[in-house]
């Protein structure tokens, strides 16, 4: 029997760590190069960090791996919007939000594919 629960605690934690990791890399880039060049680092950071923490989140799930990953991206986006009080953003940030969701789905799919690989018999 497959457990179909959605692990909300892990999703929220994965989303929080995603945003924390993005900020941890973004802030030093801003300090060294300024706002405009740093803004272009956000989309790849969003994709990679969400992928990493979606893999971490989906590993504990028994099913719905892609859904868990997508939810990490959606919750991370919601956290960012709440943190900035939904202020207008440059277009590149909207791209980054979409990439968070895509990165989350990719992370969930990665875990799903790893689970389906038959284990060698000893």
CA dihedral sign of residues 81, 82, 86, 90: negative
Q: Is the pLDDT of residue 76 over 90?
A: yes
d(CA 108, CA 82): 25
Cβ neighbours, 10 Å, residue 53: 28
Whole-model pTM over 0.85? yes
* Residues 22-65 pLDDT 10s: 999 999 999 999 988 888 999 999 999 999 999 999 998 888 99
């Amino acid at each position: 029997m497959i457990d179909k629960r959605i692990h909300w605690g892990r999703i929220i934690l994965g989303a929080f760590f995603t945003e924390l990791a993005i900020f941890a890399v973004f802030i030093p880039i801003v300090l060294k190069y300024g706002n405009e060049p740093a803004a272009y680092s956000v989309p790849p950071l969003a994709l990679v960090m969400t992928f990493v923490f979606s893999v971490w989140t989906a590993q504990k799930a028994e099913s719905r791996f892609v859904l868990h990953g997508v939810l990490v991206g959606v919750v991370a986006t919601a956290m960012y919007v709440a943190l900035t009080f939904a202020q207008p953003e440059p277009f590149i940030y909207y791209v980054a939000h979409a990439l968070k969701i895509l990165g989350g789905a990719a992370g969930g799919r990665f875990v799903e594919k790893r689970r389906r690989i038959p284990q060698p018999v000893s």
